[in-house]
Amino acid sequence: MLSFSSLFAIDETKARADGLKMPLVNIVDELLLMPLIRWQAAQIYQHFDNYFVPDTLTLCSILVRLTGLACLFYDAEPQFLPGVGRRAKRLIAGASFMVGYYFDCFDGYYARKYNKCTMFGCWLDHLNDITMCGAYFVLALRKKMWLSAALMAIMLVFVVNQVLLEEEAFGNHTEFFNLVTRLAAPFRLFRTSAFMRYFGTSSWFLVVACALALE
């Protein structure tokens, strides 16, 4: 029987070379995210590792995303952030969507590279992804931001395909992954990772962030 804790069981394959899920193939990761994440992770490990847990980064991701959601929800309310106009609030929402994703990438990288994976951290990371991205999608629909909502729906399909390819590449057969594989079967479009170069998760997060900011 599938228990709640087993859904987020830590698989040994999570401790992957250099903290990466797969070799760098996405252009946004390669040029923007990973150079900064690697440098910051090395600094934290060198100076603060004894006092640092990756869950701190997950909490930063949650707080940043909540800030963006608040700006989007109250974008037409002058009482919220007085002096900040509607356009500026949407710019903050878009930036928060991307910065939150940056912290989301950072926590997993640090945990894998420096062997700090925990059950709670894995659970918190999944919960952050599902609830926050879902909230952005629902709010975009409520605000009639059709382009942003459509791009998020398309992004989900590509993200699911990338996750499946990543986990298969490392032979991950946890109960959680097996459940996701069964649920995601109707959305399986790709059997190779070639699409990830330009249409991987990070590319889509950047595109959606721009749409949220500009729509």
pLDDT of the residue at 62? 97
The string of DSSP letters for 46-100 reads: HHHGGG--THHHHHHHHHHHHHHHHHHHTTT-TTSSTT--HHHHHHHHHHHHHHH
Q: How many domains does the chain have?
A: 1
Task: Provide the domain limits for residue 82.
Answer: 13-214
pLDDT of the residue at 112? 84
Which residues have CB under 8 Å from 3's CB, separation 6+? Answer: none
Residue range 87-138, pLDDT digits in tens: 999 999 999 999 999 999 999 889 888 888 888 888 888 889 989 999 999 9
Q: Tell the burial category of 78 from Cβ atoms under 10 Å away from its Cβ (0-12, 13-18, 19+).
A: exposed
Which residues have CB under 8 Å from 29's CB, separation 6+? Answer: 105, 200, 202
> How far is the C-alpha of 62 from the C-alpha of 92, rounded, in Å?
15
Question: Is residue 145 in a domain?
Answer: yes
Question: Is residue 122 in a domain?
Answer: yes
Question: Is residue 5 in a domain?
Answer: no
pLDDT of the residue at 172? 61
Q: Where are the alpha helices (H) located in 74-174, listed in sequence order?
A: 86-113, 119-142, 146-169
> How many C-beta atoms surround the C-beta of residue 83 within 10 A?
6
Question: Is residue 198 in a domain?
Answer: yes
pLDDT of the residue at 171? 65
Question: In whole angstroms, how far apart are CA 53 and each of 17, 119, 137, 214?
Answer: 19, 13, 29, 35
Residue 99: CATH number of its domain: 1.20.120
Nearest one of 25, 14, 10, 19 to 196, comparing CA atoms: 25
> How far is the C-alpha of 171 from the C-alpha of 19, rounded, in Å?
16
pLDDT of the residue at 196? 86
pLDDT of the residue at 69? 97
Question: Is residue 1 in a domain?
Answer: no
Question: Is residue 50 in a domain?
Answer: yes
Contact 159, 130 (CB under 8 A): no
Q: Tell me the three state secondary structure of residue 150.
A: helix
Read off the pTM. Answer: 0.88
pLDDT of the residue at 12? 44
Per-residue pLDDT of the chain (215 residues; tens, 9 = 90+): 445 555 455 544 444 545 555 555 789 998 999 999 999 999 999 999 888 889 999 999 999 999 999 999 999 999 999 999 999 999 999 999 999 999 999 998 898 888 888 888 888 888 899 899 999 999 999 999 999 999 999 999 998 888 788 777 766 666 667 777 788 778 888 877 788 889 989 999 999 999 999 99
